[in-house]
Amino acid sequence: MHLKKLFALILLLFTLQLVAMAKPEALRVEPAFWWAGMASPDLQLMLHGPDIGNLKPELQHEGIVVKDVIKVSNPNYLFLNIDISKASAGKFRLQLKDGNRVVHKYTYELKERKAGSSQRQGFDNSDVIYLITPDRFANGNPKNDNVKSMAEKANRSDKSGRHGGDLEGIIQHLDYLKDMGFTALWVNPVLENNQQNTSYHGYSTTDYYKVDPRFGDNAQYVALSEKADERGIKLIMDMIPNHIGSEHWWMDDLPTEDWLNYQDNYKQTNHRREAIQDPHAAAYDRNLHTQGWFVESMPDLNQENELLAQYLIQNAIWWIEYANLGGIRVDTYSYSYPPFMTEWTRRIMEEYPNFNIVGEEWSLNPAIVAYWQRGKKNPNGYTSYLPSLMDFPVQNALVAALRDDETGWDTGWLHLYAMLANDFQYADPGNLVVFPDNHDMDRIYTQLNQDAALTKLALTYILTTRGIPQLYYGTEILMHNDAPGDHGIIRTDFPGGWEGDKINAFTGQRLTEEQRQMQEFTKKLLNWRKNTEAVQTGKLTHYAPYKGVYAYFRVQGDQKVMVILNKNEKPYDLALDKFAAQLNGKTKGVDAITGKTYQLDKKALALPPKAPLVLELQ
């Protein structure tokens, strides 16, 4: 009897093994779901599974029309182009058949769109953006620091390793952002980065539809967006259409022979961004810029492949709709294939006419930056639909202005004055994002040689000039990097974000007096800016700097603001006669920072040393 039971058990195990072996691997479908009622009637589905290329797809849903079934060189892929223009929301069955035998089944869903989704308002001049590197901001859930399926583990002592910050940490401190006065949140990439090392920064995507589990999951990202929205904060997603990580799941099974640039022969980009616009540039240099890889761990995507191009466009729209985004920041904008970026932005703006997208074009030449903005008439005929760009020229000029002395005819503040004069090159200079620093450069306090007074002047300018301001996390408490250029140090942990931190910037615990003053200064200026339309959208008129003083006005209707930035180490008497046209009967100004009233009906105004004045004119 015992042998019979043993034989039966062996037979059962053998049978189960055969069943398991016969069961097909799960079918991957991307995007996993979509929405009815989108502006574009077309939807492309990427199907991935073993040897599915010769299977016949069937879709059963009223209103859906299969336009094309596309087979590629890799038999593990199928692409379906379907028309959903007449389809209503609901679930339907997708089957892959071998003759009459069903090999794969998948329940696809067209979801109902949220009311007003297409008319969502993207970030704009009324906002101030707070930039966070999520791994370095706050660790809200230590349990997800290490995930078995993820290659790199947490090591807070490694400046280039993962420290454990996550989405839950950001959610837990949204009230801090709100109280400070921030109204938009740009989070460095949070999608899966299953790289062997230096995965914390997020710029080597290994799955375009999945949040990295060490940050949380897709549902938690949606929760971040919802909870931020409850506090009047828009969520901006950092997207990377140019390249992926070398551990992306595609790399084990590339869909086509031209999915990547230099797919079989790695070449690094030459970083010659200006070659795109240069009328004298060799085609070799232009092509190597856009087709070359950043580094060997970041394969460059070939966006001339129409299937890949559609995949990337749909992925961006999917995240906007799914996570209720208030904006997109595009990494390495000019490194992508230019015609593709035209279509990428056009399609997004077609779906969401009031949305905003800011591109990174790290050039100090405003003519190079202006080339990519929507509405710019370019000599070579290139058309862009990108609304906004990061204003690297102004950032660089601001630092030069503050670090340089005022002894020459073109030194000091004149760097900034002259750079702003280039605004005639932009189609919409008011829609540029201005910033003192970001995650890829030395912190502004470091750039200004840890001079708190100069840092206040820098922040005052950023928060009162034209454009949309962005501050990097920790700028408000004078975070700095002692090792210039070291990204791991630049992206230092925000104090108070980890249990056991002795210094807590969220509560003010153990901040130095100088740090507390800067935090309070920033908070006052941010919250004042929220309700001051003149510095959001008002006309800017600036006066040529003189003897270390730079002054400009922001005017919107009857509201006038006069900003005076004094670099002098001593008090300075500013003659007021040249401002008569702008003052125009205004006899006093109330400083938004200190609340002090200054009389403007005198010959001169006594300026405090090395300090800003932000005067609401009355």
Positions marked catalytic: 331, 360
Burial 270-280 (b: 16+ CB within 10 A, else e): eebbbbbbeee
- Compute the C-alpha angle 475/477/479, nearest 5°: 60
DSSP-assigned states of every residue in 409-468: TT-TTHHHHHHHGGGGG-S-GGGSEE-S--TTS--HHHHTTT-HHHHHHHHHHHHHSSSE
What's the Cα-to-Cα distance from 7 to each of 3, 15, 19, 233, 427, rounded to whole Å?
6, 12, 18, 65, 80
Question: Sign of the CA dihedral 197, 199, 203, 205?
Answer: positive
CA dist., res. 481 & res. 182, Å (int): 24
Count the neighbouring beta carbons within 10 Å of the beta carbon of residue 119.
Answer: 10
Strands 56-60 and 42-48, by their bridges, are unpaired
- For residue 339, what are its two tokens? 């015609």
**Dist CA 65 CA 87 (whole Å):** 9
User: How many residues in total does the chain contain?
Assistant: 618
Q: How far apart are CA 227 and CA 323, in angstroms?
A: 11
Task: Name the residue type at position 580.
Answer: A
